[in-house]
Amino acid sequence: MDSDLLFGSVSAQKPVALELYSLIKDLPILSPHSHIDPALFNTRFDNPVEVLIQPDHYILRMLVSQGVPYSQILSKENPCDVWQLFADYFYLFRGTPSGLWFNHTLKNILGVNEKLDSSSATSIYNQIVAKFAEPEFTPKKLFNKMRIEVLATTDPVTSALEYHRAIPSLGLNGRVIPTFRADNMINILLPSWTANIQLLETASGVEIKDFNSFIAALEQRRAYFKSLGGTATDTSCSLPETTFLSHAEVETIFQRALKGQAGKQDAALFTAHMVTEMARMSVEDGMVMQLHSGIYRNHNPEIFNQFGPDKGFDIPIRTEFTRNLKPLLDRFGNNANLTLILFTLDEALYSRELAPIAGAYPAIRIGPPWWFCDSWNGINRYFDLVMETAGLYNTVGFIDDTRSFLSIPARHDLWRRVSANWLARLLVQHLIDRRDAEEMAIELAVGLVKRTYHL
Amino acid sequence: MDSDLLFGSVSAQKPVALELYSLIKDLPILSPHSHIDPALFNTRFDNPVEVLIQPDHYILRMLVSQGVPYSQILSKENPCDVWQLFADYFYLFRGTPSGLWFNHTLKNILGVNEKLDSSSATSIYNQIVAKFAEPEFTPKKLFNKMRIEVLATTDPVTSALEYHRAIPSLGLNGRVIPTFRADNMINILLPSWTANIQLLETASGVEIKDFNSFIAALEQRRAYFKSLGGTATDTSCSLPETTFLSHAEVETIFQRALKGQAGKQDAALFTAHMVTEMARMSVEDGMVMQLHSGIYRNHNPEIFNQFGPDKGFDIPIRTEFTRNLKPLLDRFGNNANLTLILFTLDEALYSRELAPIAGAYPAIRIGPPWWFCDSWNGINRYFDLVMETAGLYNTVGFIDDTRSFLSIPARHDLWRRVSANWLARLLVQHLIDRRDAEEMAIELAVGLVKRTYHL
Amino acid sequence: MDSDLLFGSVSAQKPVALELYSLIKDLPILSPHSHIDPALFNTRFDNPVEVLIQPDHYILRMLVSQGVPYSQILSKENPCDVWQLFADYFYLFRGTPSGLWFNHTLKNILGVNEKLDSSSATSIYNQIVAKFAEPEFTPKKLFNKMRIEVLATTDPVTSALEYHRAIPSLGLNGRVIPTFRADNMINILLPSWTANIQLLETASGVEIKDFNSFIAALEQRRAYFKSLGGTATDTSCSLPETTFLSHAEVETIFQRALKGQAGKQDAALFTAHMVTEMARMSVEDGMVMQLHSGIYRNHNPEIFNQFGPDKGFDIPIRTEFTRNLKPLLDRFGNNANLTLILFTLDEALYSRELAPIAGAYPAIRIGPPWWFCDSWNGINRYFDLVMETAGLYNTVGFIDDTRSFLSIPARHDLWRRVSANWLARLLVQHLIDRRDAEEMAIELAVGLVKRTYHL
C-alpha cells in the first residue's frame, strides 16, 4: 500500500495524519468477529481463483451485476480462464473498497507489482501460483507474519469446535477463538429447525422438551464456547425487534414449534424474545453480545436456489432501534454486566438513534461500519455521524467481518488510515490536542476492541 | 462560468481536477431525459420573462416561499415589471444551484457580464431582448452551438410526435428523440383516464376492450416511438411499488376501471402491476426503462387549483426499494435484456438500497441525482454514497431533466466539474491511477449515458 | 477559544474564513429559544458542580453511559468529590461538542487555562469557586458582558411570569422575554391534565367548560405573554402529526378528556388538532410558532422514575413532514401571517422534506440544527443539506436551546465559526462573491433571527 494512500487530499493535515498513522500502523491485529474457517490453519492455499475470487461475495456480485454469469465465475474447471475473465472485468472495481483490498493483497501479501488487467492476467496468475507453492506461504505462517493477536471465528452453537481445540498445537503466535452464533436456533420457521434442536440436544447432552431445557442447552454450549476462549456471541436478524414474553407465552410458542405448527407471528415473537433472552444470558455469563440487523438475506431466489447463500444478493432494509430495542433496554439497558454491540447498514441511524442510545445506556456500544459500509467514505461518515454524540469510548474499534483471510491486513490498514485522517482533522482544527489524538489513535487501533471484547 | 468555478477549495487536488476537466469540458452533450418542448426548434425566443422565469418551477417556488404572489410572477402583462420583481429578489438564490444555473446562462449564453440585482435589472433585460432579436440567436442555432448530440424529450404515449417527425428537416447537427411516458394510462383513478384510453385507441388503431388489447395498444405505441428514434420509456409514481397479478386479477380490475368503478386499492395494484408489465415490455423490445418515484405531486391544493401542476409544490416522500421492487426483480432482475434505471429523491436510499441492488442485479442501473439533488453538494453526496458499493459502471452518467433549454450547458458543466473534482480526490489519495481517472472522466461525461441509453 | 479554532483544516479557505468571522464574532447575541431560568438574574452562582455539571443532560448521559451511577453524579453532598469524578472521566468528551462547550466556558468565561483532568481537578475547582465569589461575576453582570440583546426563556402558559415582570428593574442591557409553551395543555393523557386545565382557568380568568372556552383561555394567555415581550410559542410533540377536526368532533373529545375518559386515539387526534389550532392562533396574533418533534422522551423508565425528566434519556425517532403536515399546510401554508419554524432530529429530512417544503410554502421556515445536531459536523451537514434547496432566507439563524447560561457564548461562537467556514468555501469556489458572503454572514449571525422572531 502506498505510504501516503488516502492522506493526499488535504495538505494541512497530511503530515499530522502521517505521524498519527506511524504510531499505529504496526500494532498487532485484533479481529473479534470474522468468518474465517478455523480449519484453514492446518491447510495450504488452493489455486488463486478458489482463494481470492470465488469465496468473496463482494467480487461475485459486482461481476454478475454487469452480466457475467455465476456459472462461469464459480466454475471449478480451468481456474486460469476464470482468472482471465475476472481480470477482464477488474476495471469494474475502480474506486471501490473491493478494488482497494484486492490491490493491497496482490501487492503487500502476494508481492505482485503489476496492475491487474486483461494483458497482465496470466503473468499475475502464475506469480500467485508460485507464491502459494513457497514453503513459507501457508495460512499458519501468514497468521504470524500478519501479527494477529486474536482472531475470532463464527461458529454454530452445535459445533464441537474441533479445529479450535487443535489450534494450540499448531504453533500460532496468537489465539483463534470461537464466537457463539445461535441464529439457527432462534428462527423457528427454518425447515431445519427441529433437526437443529436435535443437534443441540446431542451437542449439549440436555434433553430438550420445553423452553427451559432449550435455554439450559444453550447455556451449556455458551459455557463450552467460553472454555475454548470464546468471549462473544453474535445474532443476526432482519429487524432488531425485541420483546419479553411471559414464561407461559414463550412455552406455548415453543411447543407449537416443536410440533411444526408455529406460524409467522409465533416466529417473530420467538425471535424477538430470544434476542432479549440472549441479553439475559450475557448479563449472567459476561459474554459480549453482538447484534447485526437490517438485511434482507437471499433477496434473489433464482441465485439462492442455484448457488446458495452468501453470493452477493443480501440487500439492506430500513431499520429502527429506538422503539424496537425498548423492551430489551427496559430490562437490561442499565446493567453494566451487559455489553450489547449494535451494528447497522442503515446509516440514517448513526446520528439519529445509535449515538444517542449508546451515548446514554451503559449496556450499549456501537459497532464499526459493517459490510457495505466499511469503505473509506463509509468509515469517514461513521466518524462524523457517531463520535460527536456517542463519544469515542462508546465505540469498539474495528471489526473486519471478513471471509477472506488474505484481506485482513488491508482492512485493518484502511481503518487505521481513516482513523489517523479523522484525528488529524480534529487536531489541526484545535478540537483536541496532540496527547488526546495519540491516545485516541491507539484506542481506535487496539485499545477499545481489547477492552470491549475482553481479549 | 469562471474557469476554476468549484475547483478552489482544496489546493492539493485543484490542478489535477483542472486537468481532468479539460479532457471533458468540450465533449458533446447527450441529454437522454428532458422536458424540452420539441416544438421549440421551429420558433424564436419570447421575452426574457417567458423564457427564463415563468417556466422554471425552481425559481417560482423560491419567490413564492418568501411571499411573492404567483399572480404577480406569472403575469403576462408588463414583463419588464416581472423581471424587476425577480431581480429585486434574486439575492434569495445566493448559494443555490438555481442561482448558479441562472448566472451561467446570463453570462455564457446571453453574454451578460453584470451581476443581476435591483439596479441592473433594466439594463440586463434590454441586453437579453437585444440578444433574442439577433438572427443567430434561435433555438435551432443554439442547439448546434451547444454541441448537443442527442436530446430526448418526454412525450405522452398518444402523441403523434409530429414535431419529432419534422426535426430531420430543420438542419440540427444532432438528434431530438421522444421518450415513451405512459403515466396517464397506468393511474386508473385519474378523472381523465377513460378519455385517455380513447385517445390511446385512436392513436394506436387498437380497439381496447380488455387488458390484453390495452397492452397491445401500448406495444403499438412503443414501436412507433422506437421508429422515431426513441430508446427509452419513463414512469413516474409516488412510491415504487411493484407486483405481478394473475391475468384474471388484472382483467377484473381493468374492467372495473373501464366502468369507472375502480377503488383506491384497485388503482394501487394496477399501477404496481403496470410497472412490472413495463419491465416485461422492455425485456421484449429493448427500450430502457426509467423509474422516477418518491414524490408527492401537487402538495398545495390552492396553488394547484389556481395555477396547475409543476409550480414548485411537489414534495419528496420517504421511499423504499428493497421490498417494493422484489416482485419485479424476482421476475426480471437477472434478465440482461432489461435495463431499469432507478431515480430517487430520498438520499438515504443511495448507500442503503440503491447501490447494493444495482451492485448485484444485472438489470438495474442507478440514475444520477435528480431534481432537488442535482446540485454540487447533491452530486458530491451521490458520488460518495453510491460509487464505492455500486461501482461507476452501474451508474449511467448525467441526465439534466430540465424544462429550460438555455440551462442545459450549465447543468452538464456542473456535473463535469463535480466529476473532475471527485476523480481528482481519488487520484491524489492514490485510490485510482491517472489512466483510470481519465477513462472514468470520459465515461461520466459521455460513455455511460451513450451505452446505457443505446444512443 | 483559540482564534483559529475550526479554521485550520483547509488552507485555501482559512484566510477567507477568518475575515468573514472577524465581521461577526463580536456582534450581539440574540437567543430566541432557551431553557434558562428567568429567576437566575437575581441570584449568584452556586458551586461549580451545581452550575456546570448537574443541570447539563449532555454531560450526565455521557458519564452514565460509561457506568458512572447517577446517584453519585447528582449527589448534593461533597461537590468537590463530584467534580473530581467528573474530571476523572472528562476524557470521554474528547472530540464532542459538550467537550468543546465546556472547555470554552472554562477558558473564556471562567479564565481557567489548565486542561481539566484528574490531576488538575482540585486546582480548577478552587479557581472557579474564587471566580464565583467575585462581585463582578453575577448572572446579571455576565448577561451584559456577553452582549446579549435578547434572551427568550420557555414558560408554561399558566406562568404568572413574575420574573419577567421584574427584569426591567434589574439593569440588564438586553431583554429577557417569555415563550408560550402549551405542551401540558395539548396532551390530554397526562395524569396532570385536568389539574393543568384548572391552573389555566385560574391564570386566564376564563371558566373552561368546553373547547371554545379552552381556546379563549389560551388566547388570553398568549396576549399576556405578548404584553411582556413574548414573540413566539413553542410546541414539542413526539411526531409532527396535524389534523383539522370539525367543531363537533373536537368538542366530543374535549368533553371525554374533562371526564378523564379519553383514550389513546382521542389524545393523538387532539394533539394533532391543537398543532393546527396553534397555527391558526399564530395567524391571528402574529406570534411565531416553533415545532420541535421526533423525540421519544423519558425512554429509560428506571432513570425517569428515580431522577425525573431531562436526564439524557430522550432518544430521537424517525420523523416525517410531507404527509403529516399536510392538513395544517392545506389551511395555513400559504398564509404570510404565519411563521412556522420546523425543527428536526432526523437529518434525513433536511434535504428530502424540510428544504423542499420551506423552499415553497410562504409560512414555513427551517430551524437550525437542534440538540444532538448542533455540533460542528451537525451544523456543516445542515448547511450542505438545507441551503441549496431552501436558500439561506428560508432559515432563521441560530438558536442555542441551552439550559446552561454560561455556555451561551460558546454555542453562538461555534455557529458563527461554522458559518464563516461554509461561506468561505462558497467564496473560494466562486459560487458567491464577497459582497454576498459578507451579507450572508451577518444574516446568519443576527439578521435572520431578528427579522424572523420580530426581535
Which CATH number characterizes residue A100's domain? 1.10.2020.10
> HSE on the CB side for B202, CA within 13 Å?
9
SS3 call for B366:
strand
Task: Give a yes or no: residue B128 inside a domain.
Answer: yes
pLDDT at C1 over 70: no
pLDDT at B1 over 60: no
Model confidence at C3, pLDDT cuts 50, 70, 90, reads confident
CB-based contact B400:A82 (threshold 8 Å): no
Question: Which residue has 423509474 as its cell numbers?
Answer: B291
Classify residue C53 by its DSSP letter.
I
**What are the pLDDT digits (tens) for C100-132?**
999 999 999 999 999 999 999 999 999 999 999
What's the gap in Å between the CA of B265 and the closest CA on chain C? 19
Task: Give a yes or no: residue A2 inside a domain.
Answer: no
- φ/ψ of A139, rounded to 5, equals -50, -40
Q: Could A92 and B393 be called an inter-chain contact, meaning their C-beta atoms sit closer than 8 Å?
A: yes
pLDDT mean over B415-442: 97
pLDDT mean over C91-97: 98
The reply to whether B155 and B91 lie within a common domain is no
Classify residue A116 by its DSSP letter.
P
The C-alpha cell at C368 is 437550525
SS3 call for B292:
strand
pLDDT mean over C263-289: 98
Cα dihedral C219, C225, C230, C234 in deg (nearest 10): -60
Give the DSSP H/E element, type plus range, for residue B233.
strand B232-237
CB-based contact B60:B312 (threshold 8 Å): yes
Q: How far apart are CA A300 and CA A312, in angstroms?
A: 9
Task: Give a yes or no: residue B2 inside a domain.
Answer: no
Q: What are the chain A neighbours of C61 within 8 Å (beta carbons)?
A: 359-360
Q: Which residues 6+ apart lie within 8 Å of A353 measured at CB?
A: A320, A321, A322, C315, C316, C317
Q: How far apart are CA C149 and CA C143, in angstroms?
A: 9
The predicted pLDDT at position A381 comes to 98
**What are the pLDDT digits (tens) for C367-405?**
999 999 999 999 999 999 999 999 999 999 999 999 999
Task: Give a yes or no: residue C84 inside a domain.
Answer: yes
The reply to whether A125 and A141 lie within a common domain is no
Question: Which has the closest alpha carbon to A13: A387, A375, A383, A423?
Answer: A423
A380 contacts chain C (CB < 8 A): no
Classify residue A89 by its DSSP letter.
T
- φ/ψ of B315, rounded to 5, equals -120, 130
The sign of the dihedral angle between the CA atoms of A156, A161, A164, A170 is negative
pLDDT at B9 over 80: no
User: Count of CB atoms within 10 A of residue B23's CB?
Assistant: 16
The predicted pLDDT at position A169 comes to 93
Listed in order, strand segments (DSSP E) in C179-321 are 180-181, 232-237, 288-293, 295-296, 315-316
pLDDT at A1 over 70: no
The reply to whether B106 and B239 lie within a common domain is no
The predicted pLDDT at position B235 comes to 97
Q: At what angle do helices B79-88 and B57-65 cross, to 10 degrees?
A: 60
Quote the mean pLDDT of chain B: 96
Among A135, A162, A189, the domain-final residue is A135
A384 contacts chain B (CB < 8 A): no
How would you class C440 by CB atoms within 10 Å of its CB: exposed for 0-12, middle for 13-18, buried for 19 or more?
Answer: buried
The reply to whether A199 and A123 lie within a common domain is no
Q: Could B359 and A10 be called an inter-chain contact, meaning their C-beta atoms sit closer than 8 Å?
A: no
Model confidence at C2, pLDDT cuts 50, 70, 90, reads confident
Model confidence at A261, pLDDT cuts 50, 70, 90, reads very high
Q: Could B360 and A315 be called an inter-chain contact, meaning their C-beta atoms sit closer than 8 Å?
A: yes
**What are the pLDDT digits (tens) for A147-183?**
999 999 999 999 999 999 999 999 999 999 999 999 9
pLDDT mean over B218-234: 98
Among C104, C135, C166, the domain-final residue is C135
The reply to whether B114 and B155 lie within a common domain is no
What's the gap in Å between the CA of A357 and the closest CA on chain C? 7
The reply to whether C425 and C342 lie within a common domain is yes
The reply to whether A314 and A174 lie within a common domain is yes
The two counts, helices (H) then strands (E), for chain A are 22, 11
From the list B353, B384, B390, which residue is nearest A315 (CB)? B353
The predicted pLDDT at position A12 comes to 82
CATH of the domain at B269: 3.20.20.140
Task: Give a yes or no: residue C157 inside a domain.
Answer: yes
The DSSP code sequence of C339-356 is: -EEEE-S-THHIIIIIHH
The predicted pLDDT at position C410 comes to 97
Q: Could C302 and A355 be called an inter-chain contact, meaning their C-beta atoms sit closer than 8 Å?
A: no
The predicted pLDDT at position C324 comes to 98
Q: Which chains touch C (3 or more CB pairs under 8 A)?
A: A, B
The DSSP code sequence of C144-213 is: HHTTEEEEE--EETT---HHHHHGGGGT-SSEEE--EE-HHHH-TTSTTHHHHHHHHHHHHT---SSHHH
Task: Give a yes or no: residue A386 inside a domain.
Answer: yes
The reply to whether B191 and B67 lie within a common domain is no
Question: Which has the closest alpha carbon to B167: B326, B41, B252?
Answer: B41
CB-based contact C176:C153 (threshold 8 Å): yes
Q: How far apart are CA B94 and CA B84, in angstroms?
A: 17
Number of domains in chain A: 2
Q: How far apart are CA A258 and CA B401, in angstroms?
A: 58
The reply to whether B92 and B39 lie within a common domain is no
Give the DSSP H/E element, type plus range, for residue B104.
helix B97-104
Quote the mean pLDDT of chain A: 96
SS3 call for A202:
helix
What is the extent of the structural domain holding C26? 10-43+136-452
> HSE on the CB side for A394, CA within 13 Å?
37
pLDDT at A9 over 90: no
Q: Could C360 and B96 be called an inter-chain contact, meaning their C-beta atoms sit closer than 8 Å?
A: no
Q: What Å distances lie between residue C197 and C186, C190, C200, C256, C281, CA to CA?
A: 10, 11, 5, 14, 19
End-to-end alpha-carbon separation of chain B, Å? Answer: 28
The predicted pLDDT at position C4 comes to 87
The reply to whether B84 and B198 lie within a common domain is no
Quote the mean pLDDT of chain C: 96
The predicted pLDDT at position A363 comes to 98
The predicted pLDDT at position B64 comes to 97
The reply to whether B129 and B141 lie within a common domain is no
Q: How far apart are CA A80 and CA A47, in angstroms?
A: 9
Task: Give the ipTM of the model, two decimals please.
Answer: 0.97
From the list B11, B323, B360, which residue is nearest A61 (CB)? B360
Model confidence at A3, pLDDT cuts 50, 70, 90, reads confident
Q: How far is CA C179 from its chain centroid?
A: 11
pTM: 0.97
What's the gap in Å between the CA of C365 and the closest CA on chain B? 9
Q: How far apart are CA A188 and CA A257, in angstroms?
A: 6
Classify residue C242 by its DSSP letter.
-
**What are the pLDDT digits (tens) for A286-317?**
999 999 999 999 999 999 999 999 999 999 99
- Alpha-helical segments (H) within C391-433: 408-428
**Residues A233-244 as b or e (16 or more Cβ within 10 Å = b):** bbbbbebbbbbb
**Residues C117-129 as b or e (16 or more Cβ within 10 Å = b):** eeeebeebbebbe
Q: Which residues 6+ apart lie within 8 Å of B306 measured at CB?
A: B70
A113 contacts chain C (CB < 8 A): no
What's the gap in Å between the CA of B377 and the closest CA on chain A? 15
Model confidence at B88, pLDDT cuts 50, 70, 90, reads very high
**What are the pLDDT digits (tens) for C327-349?**
999 999 999 999 999 999 999 99
Question: Which residue has 472521566 as its cell numbers?
Answer: C89
Q: How far apart are CA A95 and CA A136, in angstroms?
A: 32
Classify residue A402 by its DSSP letter.
-
B314 contacts chain A (CB < 8 A): no
Q: How far apart are CA A126 and CA A129, in angstroms?
A: 5
In DSSP terms, C291 is beta-bridged to C235, C342
Q: What Å distances lie between residue C57 and A143, C64, C314, C404, CA to CA?
A: 46, 10, 10, 10
Q: What Å distances lie between residue C179 and C182, C203, C233, C336, C343, CA to CA?
A: 10, 16, 5, 21, 16
Task: Give a yes or no: residue C3 inside a domain.
Answer: no
Model confidence at C86, pLDDT cuts 50, 70, 90, reads very high
pLDDT mean over B178-192: 96
Model confidence at B11, pLDDT cuts 50, 70, 90, reads confident
pLDDT at C408 over 60: yes
Q: How far apart are CA A367 and CA A322, in angstroms?
A: 16
Interfacial A residues in 6-25 facing C (CB < 8 Å): 10-13
Q: How far apart are CA A332 and CA A320, in angstroms?
A: 19
Q: How far is CA C412 from its chain centroid?
A: 12
Q: Which residues 6+ apart lie within 8 Å of C63 measured at CB?
A: C73, C85, C86, C89, C92
The C-alpha cell at A438 is 495519540
Listed in order, strand segments (DSSP E) in A304-405 are 315-316, 340-343, 364-366
The reply to whether C215 and C232 lie within a common domain is yes
pLDDT mean over B47-72: 95
From the list B8, B10, B316, which residue is nearest C430 (CB)? B8
Task: Give a yes or no: residue C118 inside a domain.
Answer: yes
The predicted pLDDT at position B2 comes to 72
pLDDT mean over C212-221: 98
Among B115, B135, B155, the domain-final residue is B135
What's the gap in Å between the CA of A332 and the closest CA on chain C? 11
The predicted pLDDT at position C285 comes to 98
CB-based contact A226:A281 (threshold 8 Å): no
